[in-house]
Amino acid sequence: MIITNKPSALTLLIFASIPAMSSAASADTSSFIASKPIQEVWLNPGFYSYHFDTEKNLNNNNFGLGLEYRYSTVNSITAGRFNNSDRKISYYAGWSWQPFALGPVRLGGSFGVMNGYPKANNGDWFPFIIPAASYEYKRVGISVTLIPSYKDIVYGSLTVQLRLKLN
């Protein structure tokens, strides 16, 4: 196999952060997070994807711009756009629910709609449900999601996203 793309600084940052998340998650404390009102705004500058099918030459650098409003300790709403795996622009809107903690790592899922994938509903809007984990330290957060493969419509991947708290 010939590797033609040099790793970007973002790629190296993302993969360097995975051990920190995994060591935090290995803590033997798990709990249910109580839902309490809060007000946080996060900037989401896209994400990096590791696609399971490496032969398709998919776009791994899914840069974009999104905002997330966390209105409780376990709930947030989000919307934005990114360059998708097919090298097209996708828009998304959704709700995240992360009611469980494994040490400092939050666990749950994201639910919503997105568009821009030519083979999924002809590029029009379609629903998504994906498992998610996140870790936050002060004003910086990392989210990891697992995108399941679905036929030749949705390409399975593990995604890592850097998040920045604005308030």
Query: How confident is the model over 57-115, as pLDDT tens digits?
Result: 999 999 999 999 999 999 999 999 999 999 999 999 999 999 999 999 999 999 999 99
Is 107 part of any domain? yes
Residues 6+ apart with CB under 8 A from 105: 21, 24, 25, 133, 134, 135
Is 112 part of any domain? yes
**Which tens digit of pLDDT belongs to each residue from 107-155?**
999 999 999 999 999 999 999 999 999 999 999 999 999 999 988 888 9
Host domain of residue 77: 9-165
Is 74 part of any domain? yes
